[in-house]
Amino acid sequence: MIKNILIAVLAVWIVFILFRPKEEKKQVIAKPVKELVDAEVKRVNNKIDQKGFQHAVLDEVAHVVNDKSELNDSSKIKLEEATRLLGIKDKQIEHLQSYNATIKDQMLKAQRTDTSFNYQDQWTNIQYVKPKDSTNNGHFNFSYNAEVNYAEYWERKNIFSKKSHYIDVWISDKRATINGVQRIKIAPKQDKTYLDVNASSMYIDRLLVGADANLHLGRTKVGGGYYYDFLLHKWRPIVRVKVNLLEF
């Protein structure tokens, strides 16, 4: 049975190679040296939601590289600093992202006590402690409870268009502004050639039940199987070739 499947797969693949349409040869034009990728996202789209929080939205696939060598020197240094801090090797890191934000306000109303001035809201606690004598300038105590939110999502213009993937970052404080983003993502290496074996069934004008194997070669899938025909009461070989034309 396995022998018949393998023979069927090989036969289909040979037919596909012999009779596939040949592509016209095109003159290869030399391209300029590829510019190295900078981890700094130059453009971050800002938007304000209905509650007044500012969002920083960027393209999810921007600054995705296949290898560290595609990064410029400053981005390599940032990646090395992160791996050193985490105690891991370069090959272990998959995604590095950091944000620069500003939070500012004015005319904060302080509560006065005998020894201090205090300001407090949902996120912020500021205290100025008065000096005990004129030789001291006093000091500030400060804390901020930052609530950083991160979301990844996709959108498409219509049902036939490809998905566009985005990253959205916002801080749950209306006074916060995301100034910039540094992002590095190492794309996982994908093996586009592999074999799978499945138990399967199909119904054409009759029920067929059996097993098949598929050889995946990039966008092409060559398969063959052996199915039991319940109408004829016998096993039947089936071969097929599929080419992935559209992907969502």
**CA of 233: how far to CAs of 61, 206, 208, 228, 229, in Å?**
52, 11, 10, 7, 5
pLDDT recorded at residue 238: 84
Query: Domain locations in the chain?
Result: 40-103+147-186, 190-243
Q: Which pLDDT score is estimated for 219?
A: 76
pLDDT along the chain (248 residues), means of 10: 53 52 40 57 78 85 79 85 89 85 91 94 94 88 92 86 87 89 78 73 82 81 85 86 71
The H or E element spanning position 86 is helix 73-86
The model carries a pTM of 0.56
> Which run of H or of E encompasses 180?
strand 176-186
Count Cβ neighbours within 10 Å for each residue of 142-167 and write b for 16 or more, e otherwise: eeeeeeeeeeeeeeeeeeeeeeeebb
Q: Which helix (H) or strand (E) holds 11?
A: helix 2-19
Give the whole-angstrom CA distance, residue 217 versus residue 24: 21
d(C-alpha 174, C-alpha 46), whole Å: 13
